[in-house]
């Protein structure tokens, strides 16, 4: 049982002037600089370049350079997307996914975030959510006496995730079965402003979910650790009632992922909801709300060492 608050460089370039040589035919003497009042004139027989003209050329060059720099910065991301296409054409889906993940997480091309997300979700259907072998997983051969729970513990994962990844409807195993087991560290990134939760595995995108946050900015920001997990959680209301799962007053939905307490921060966590219409709004008592189907999927990835980062 638990108490629940929710009741539950850029670098800038100055104008520059490239080395230019002003010459005339049959001229061998060096250019001489002569001070004339407040101006400078460069004389060399039939070549006369006034300093104000020189400054105009320098200014024009600087403006052209800045314009080129601006276009180049806009085009800097094109090679990345071109590389994604090349990876896909070469059948390198894992490499394409990793590059797209970096572009998405860092928001490198804001206007293409949705397109990149759609590509990531499609690729991860095979890389993450299928039995196909990939570098983020090991292929395990079932041995005599094996059980899913023991295998999951050995690899610091959850047996439910092994079942989902391998398309198993039950936890029954047969000796010699090949199981894909995802390995590595999971992390959760939550954006209050965007009402989104992004799940990462080994710092790469797995999936993004829509969420609800606390009304009146009650959801705290910072880094949190997992305290406990519960299926079909009981809700301890801040107003005093205790409501079992399924009770009409229990708003926690089907799953609870609790955060370790911090000074002045007690009882926070991630949970499902009986109010799906509130997703995408500030509506909870401070916890993160998710659709039940989404929190159930997230729940299977979360382990005791999953790191949760909440930011504005």
Distance set, CA 5 to CA 80, 186, 211, 240, 267 (Å): 44, 25, 17, 11, 5
Task: Supply the Cα-derived Rg of the chain in whole angstroms.
Answer: 30
Nearest to 181 by CA among 209, 144, 208, 153: 153
Annotated catalytic residue 6: no
Is 287 among the catalytic positions? yes
Which residue is catalytic, options 6, 106, 266, 271? Answer: 271
Q: How far is residue 110's CA from residue 98's CA, in Å, rounded to a whole number?
A: 18
Q: Which residues pair with 139 in a beta bridge?
A: 180
CA angle (260, 250, 7) in 5-degree steps: 40
Q: What angle do CA 39, 45, 49 make, to 5 degrees?
A: 35
**In degrees rounded to 5, what are phi and psi of residue 2?**
-150, 155
E-state strands within the chain? 32-36, 39-44, 47-50, 137-141, 178-182, 186-191, 196-201, 204-210, 213-214, 222-231, 235-236, 242-243, 255-259, 269-271, 282-284, 288-289, 307-311
Active-site residue list: 271, 287
């Amino acid at each position: 049982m638990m108490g629940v608050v929710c009741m539950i460089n850029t670098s800038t370039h100055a104008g520059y002037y490239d080395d230019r040589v002003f010459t005339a035919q049959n001229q061998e003497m060096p250019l001489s600089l002569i001070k004339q009042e407040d101006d400078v004139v460069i004389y060399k027989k039939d070549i006369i370049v006034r300093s104000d003209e020189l400054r105009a050329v320098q200014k024009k060059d600087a403006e052209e350079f800045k314009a080129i720099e601006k276009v180049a910065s806009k085009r800097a991301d094109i090679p990345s997307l071109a590389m994604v296409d090349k990876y896909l054409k070469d059948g390198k889906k894992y490499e394409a996914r990793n590059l797209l993940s970096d572009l998405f997480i860092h928001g490198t091309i804001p206007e293409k975030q949705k397109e990149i997300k759609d590509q990531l979700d499609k690729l991860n259907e095979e890389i993450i959510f299928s039995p196909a072998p990939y570098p983020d997983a090991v292929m395990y051969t079932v041995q005599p006496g094996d059980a899913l729970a023991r295998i999951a513990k050995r690899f610091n994962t959850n047996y439910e995730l092994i079942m989902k990844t391998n398309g198993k409807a039950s936890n029954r195993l047969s000796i010699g079965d090949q199981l894909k087991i995802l390995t590595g560290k999971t992390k959760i990134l939550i954006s209050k402003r965007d009402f989104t939760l992004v799940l990462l595995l080994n710092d790469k995108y797995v999936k993004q979910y829509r969420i609800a946050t606390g009304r009146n900015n009650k959801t705290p920001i910072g880094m949190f650790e997992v305290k406990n997990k519960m299926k079909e959680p009981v809700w301890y209301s801040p107003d005093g009632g205790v409501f079992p799962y399924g009770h009409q007053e229990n708003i926690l939905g089907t799953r609870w992922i609790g955060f370790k307490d911090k000074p002045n921060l007690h009882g926070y966590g991630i949970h499902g909801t009986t109010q799906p219409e509130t997703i995408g709004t500030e509506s909870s008592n401070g916890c993160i709300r998710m659709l039940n189907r989404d929190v159930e999927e997230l729940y299977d990835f979360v382990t005791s060492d999953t790191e949760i980062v909440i930011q504005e």
